[in-house]
Chains A and B, each alone.
Chain A
């Protein structure tokens, strides 16, 4: 196939005095520095809290997988292996800050204090969002990829306008980072200096599609340079590092110094969701390599070596995990389906005549159903 090119473009300069073209090439890779070490202030009490939240997260996650196998949840997106990235990040927030999670961040949302049964409403199918965002300052778990990042930016912009010193933290994945909304969120946060912390959990995959098919670059953090904000790449399986990096970014945002993009490099040890089959796109060997870097066990070793926790504390947390798991089982099994009439109640602030009519139709169907 030939492409016609006009002679002016392909031939020599169209007049003798035409200046030569000139440009600068941007280096293919932005500059990522070598890892620098930073002091992190965490009291013994905080370290224990962190461990507790991570261990409980692990247990809650396992229970959610089990409940899915048993039919109490329709589907579940596991955080197994990503506890440090989620819990460490959320731990850096203050009570008045806001969190904007995705379907992946069940344990980050749990660590934020949202009731686990309310979180799982999305997966049990009882309601799309089971908790009150205003009660916890946590937005609904979001499934259209990267869209929630813009909500975080908007909320942060609003807080700035009102002079409230709060921070919005949003998570998204390595796949979601390819979405236009992710770019718009980063760019607008940069332009307006919005107090937002973007935490990208790079867990290597977007369902089956590996990282290298999302981007030609070695790190998503590099995008920070393109939108004029600091970028950080951190070991997402090291909770101390995640916490340290996010805390630095949260403090910066709260001071009024703007947003930060943090890439937490981690790995999803379970399948994308309970409906996924990893054998079609990755090897068990790869997962085994990451199992060695298990964030919960790794943190526990550090804490034991440092004498921060002992067997009794670990057992206490384990018992709490069992109790939480039991409560999940009790609440999610045989949970009532809810009243289908409620589907008409929250479309608008008030029900419209059209919705009243449709509700009446459903009412008739329900009555007829009862009679049979």
Chain B
């Protein structure tokens, strides 16, 4: 069955709710409307208003009440309507959601998922194209997941809902309409494992979420246009990251490039580059490079394409990488 990523996420929520009564879904406009991106479409009609409901416009309230629900044994899956509007909930997420297990000495784990559509590329107005993954990945106690394909969107969301720790689930909104032929339920490696999406020998492209597709496109073009055989690793779980898979790939190819939409400085790629240079130093023929957004507030729609990394920017960097 051909499914979009949005459809796969919707199917994952529906299947999880059918299987487990303790799964509840709520947020702004997720009930009657089915979410502004329709990810929760039809859930309220099927499951009722106790299981899928709309809330007041209150992001801290959504995250904070989800904690209380998880404390009481439910598995809340809540939606932040947009990346830029997840910030009012940061106090709850950083001070409590992330720390509760540790604070209680392991006695209270919080099975809850906070879904956030993130990233740019859809021509949105200000505050609708943010890439907040570094904030969450920097916070101990959070598990940060971001799928790059429809199949992974299904599998990783199901796994996140079944997970016994809080998951920040970052949905690459520009890929919501990406299609894939899928047999549900999709199975995939668990949370915490990266995947080699394309095997190659010349260099490793490391990507996640919205950039997986871009990296794959770059690898295809590199093969066609230049005869470069690139490996693409999809990180999938940003934190705790599967460093072994990344190190193995970089060690094999001897060259690595991290790609993300988010700004460069103190971004997610900086951590990966630093870790690779520590663990694979002796195998690397070149410094680990980064292809990222710029260190500017996310630009307005008409110029966003100049901010976003694309296959061209990746291939330019690969050329530099291969020159060493």
Docked CA distance A353–B164 (Å)? 18
Determine if B61 and A127 form an interchain contact, defined as CB atoms under 8 angstroms apart.
no
Whether A346 contacts B240 in the complex (CB less than 8 A), given A151-B64, A154-B67, A157-B65, comes out as: no
Q: Which residue of A lies closest to B88 (CB)?
A: A180
A147 with B104: CB separation less than 8 A: no
12 contacts between A and B (CB under 8 A): A128-B99, A128-B103, A133-B107, A140-B104, A144-B91, A153-B68, A154-B64, A158-B71, A161-B74, A184-B58, A184-B60, A348-B240
- At the interface, yes or no: B282 with Cβ under 8 Å from chain A? no
Rounded to whole Å, the gap between the CB of A348 and the closest CB of chain B is 5
CA distance A158 to B68 in the complex (A): 8
Choose one: B51, B64, B95, B103; the contact of A129 (CB below 8 Å): B103
Given contacts A151-B96, A161-B74, A187-B61, contact A181 B91 (CB under 8 A): yes
Chain A residues contacting B96 (CB-CB under 8 Å) are 142, 144, 147, 151
| A:137-162 near B, CB below 8 Å | 139-140, 142, 144, 147, 149-159, 161-162
Interface size on B, residues (CB 8 A): 47
Whether the Cβ atoms of B141 and A181 lie closer than 8 Å is: no
Least distance between B92 CB and chain A CB atoms (Å) = 6
User: Would you call B60 and A151 a contact (CB within 8 A)?
Assistant: no
Distance between Cα atoms of A348 and B240 in the complex (Å): 10
A345 at the interface (CB under 8 A from B): yes
- Taking CB atoms, residues of chain A closer than 8 Å to B92 are 147, 150, 181
Q: Mark B57-75, 1 if CB is under 8 A from A, else 0.
A: 0101101111111111110
Distance A346 CA – B70 CA, assembled complex (angstroms): 17
C-alpha spacing A147/B107, complex, angstroms: 20
Chain A residues whose C-beta falls within 8 Å of the C-beta of B108 in the assembled complex: 133-134
A180 to B58, CA, bound (A): 9
Query: In the complex, how many angstroms separate the beta carbon of B245 from the nearest chain A beta carbon?
Result: 11
- Nearest A residue to B63, CB-CB: A150
Which of chain B's residues has its CB closest to A161's CB? Answer: B50
Counting CB contacts under 8 A, is B117 at the interface?
Answer: no
Whether A150 lies near B61 (C-beta < 8 A) is: yes
Instruction: Identify which of residues 170-229 in chain B touch chain A, using a CB-to-CB cut-off of 8 Å.
Output: 192
Task: Flag if B165 contacts A154 (CB, 8 Å).
Answer: no
Does A188 contact B56, Cβ atoms closer than 8 Å?
yes
B240 and A352: CB pair below 8 A? yes
Bound: A150/B100 CA distance, A: 14
**Using Cβ atoms and an 8 Å threshold, which residues of chain B touch A342?**
105
Contacts A161-B74, A347-B140 given; does A132 touch B64 at CB 8 Å: no
Does A191 interact with chain B (Cβ within 8 Å)? Answer: yes
**What are the residues of chain B within 8 A of A142 when measuring CB–CB?**
96
Q: How many residues of A contact B (CB 8 A)?
A: 42
What 13 additional pairs, Cβ within 8 angstroms, besides A158-B71, A159-B72? A133-B107, A147-B95, A150-B65, A151-B71, A158-B68, A181-B92, A184-B64, A187-B56, A188-B65, A342-B105, A345-B106, A348-B143, A352-B192
A140 touches which of B64, B103, B165 (Cβ 8 Å): B103
Interface string of B7-20 (1 = CB under 8 A from A): 00000000000000
B68 A129 Cβ-Cβ under 8 A: no
Quick one: closest B residue to A184, CB to CB? Answer: B61
Q: Tell me, in angstroms, the Cα distance from A345 to B104 when the chains sit together.
A: 11
Report the minimum CB–CB distance from A7 to chain B (whole Å): 30
Q: Which of B24, B50, B101, B105 contacts A349 (CB 8 A)?
A: B101
| CA–CA, A188 and B109, complex, Å | 24
Whether B165 pairs with A185 at a CB distance below 8 angstroms is no
Q: How far is the CA of A156 from the CA of B71 in the complex (A)?
A: 10
Q: Which chain A residues (329-372) contact chain B, with CB distance < 8 Å?
A: 342, 345-349, 352-355
* B102 CB contact (under 8 Å) in A161, A185, A346: A346
Chain A residues with Cβ below 8 Å from B244 are 353
Q: For B104, list chain A residues within 8 Å (CB).
A: 128-129, 132-133, 140, 346
CB of B3 within 8 A of chain A? Answer: no
Whether B270 is near chain A, meaning CB under 8 Å from some CB there, is no
Task: List A residues 210-225 near B (Cβ within 8 Å).
Answer: none
> Which residues of chain A are within 8 angstroms of B76 by Cβ–Cβ distance?
154
Given A129-B103, A147-B96, A158-B72: A354 in contact with B243 (beta carbons within 8 A): yes
Which residues on B sit within 8 Å (CB–CB) of A161? Answer: 24, 50-51, 74
Q: In this assembly, does B300 line the interface, its C-beta being within 8 Å of a C-beta of chain A? A: no
Give CA–CA (A162, B76) in the complex, Å.
Answer: 13
A210 to chain B, nearest CB (A): 25
Closest to A188 in B: B61
Does B55 lie at the interface of the complex (its beta carbon under 8 Å from any beta carbon of A)?
A: yes
Contacts of A184 in B (CB 8 A): 56, 58, 60-61, 64
The CB with the most chain A CB atoms within 10 A, among B69, B76, B101, B243, is that of B69
